[in-house]
């Protein structure tokens, strides 16, 4: 998934720096 949560690497939120 691409939720845009910064630094959150989960199956539902891609890791975004």
Each residue's pLDDT, cut to its tens digit, for the chain (17 residues) gives 556 666 666 666 666 66
Q: In degrees to the nearest 10, what's the CA dihedral of 9, 1, 12, 5?
A: 50
Count of H-run helices and E-run strands, the chain: 0, 0
pLDDT at residue number 7: 61
pLDDT at residue number 8: 63
Q: What is the CA 5 to chain-centroid distance, rounded?
A: 4
Q: What is the torsional sign of CA 6, 7, 12, 14?
A: positive
Query: 12: number of CA atoms within 13 Å, CB side?
Result: 0
**pTM of structure:** 0.05
In the DSSP assignment, the letter for residue 12 is T
């Amino acid at each position: 998934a691409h939720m845009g949560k910064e630094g959150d690497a989960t199956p539902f939120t891609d890791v975004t720096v």
